Amino acid sequence: MKLSHILTNTVTLLSLSLGVEGHFSRSRNDAVGPKHPFRPLPHSPPRRKLCHVRSHGDGSDDSKFVLAALNKCNHGGKVVFDADTEYTIGTALDLTFLNNIDLEILGRLTFTPDTDYWQANSFKHTFQNATTFFNLGGTDVNVYGGGTLDGNGQVWYDLYAEDALILRPILVGIIGLHGGTIGPLKLRYSPQWYQLVANSSDVLFDGIDISGYSASENEAKNTDGWDTYRSHNIVIQNSVINNGDDCVSFKPNSTDILVQNLYCNGSHGISVGSLGQYPGEVDIVKNVLVYNISMYNASDMARIKVWPGVSSAMSEDLQGGGGLGAVSNITYDQMFIENVDWAIEVTQCYGQDNLTLCNEFPSDLTISDIHISNIYGTTSGARDPNVGTIVCSSPDVCSDIYVENIDVLSPSGTNDFVCTNVDESLLQVNCTSG
């Protein structure tokens, strides 16, 4: 599937198959239709070589077969993971050498549950102790076929419950990819985030089906759908995400990002951040459009989360505060929510429960030029009577936040917002505190 074909899609077929098209096509003032990337995405030339990946078929490591096929068909070929075939991956694979190649995944790739091996050998990244099973990068790489990548997450969910400091691999590492498409694909049971997109540009994700919950009492935690980091001109669209953390999260230095036509269930929303975690680091997130989203059974819909200017602890394995930077030109538009705690959550006190301390040491990272509009639906009642919160640590570092046309009710029929250190004249909502 080439970029020129994918970009002609006008509806999300995955959402239609789940019967949620009524929410994507909900009658609103503006017609719902796909938006264009911030800049045109590159096209792929025809592939003229074909390679099939062998499989032992008995659970033995097939990584050598994968590498052999990729090397043979690199620079102008297509590598096929055959349908109805099980592939076992037991080796950390550096696939950042790929150029002008397609990977058609029709079968199932399962990563071994050898937690000792993966903690020692998975690829380490500098941000938030992230690690990946493999790194896929290069130029003009397309991965599609509708097959499955399975992270064998249950053993990791149980291990993480015993030790919160273990390094859990991310299922898909898109690292240093410039030009390419990912999807359609099924992603299952990731130990941590499902996809990390780092140091990449001009990449389209289309038709990603994410799901994977714990079968034990130990939750599948931190299972973000996407985390973008130091990347620009990324498109994420036409996908279904059933997970337990951010549906999409824009981490530091994510710019020119389009997210549209998603069905998110059980998540923590579509989030800018968290940002400002590391003192001395400059985090920039700008030019982000989030459009036409259905959000169910979640903590948030539109979320911007920034660490304060003082050290704070979100959890045993997540602390921070005092970083620099800016969030600007962020737009959320056309969203339906059901059973969501906060329709909107903007905070510069992420990880800090002591608001007095947060205001005493306001964030060193500014928030400005934010536009949130056209949200419809109902909240969960967890924050009743409030349906949204916009809390800045200081008006000096938080400005030009515009909110309008928010048709959201709590179960008790209220639509109140918590507003602190923000220009309420720009908020067309009922602020009850400030």
* Cα-based distances in Å from 109 to 102, 118, 241, 242, 409: 16, 16, 19, 20, 43
* 52 among known catalytic residues: no
Q: What angle do CA 181, 328, 257 make, to 5 degrees?
A: 5
Catalytic residue among 5, 56, 268, 371: 268
The residues carrying an active-site annotation are 268
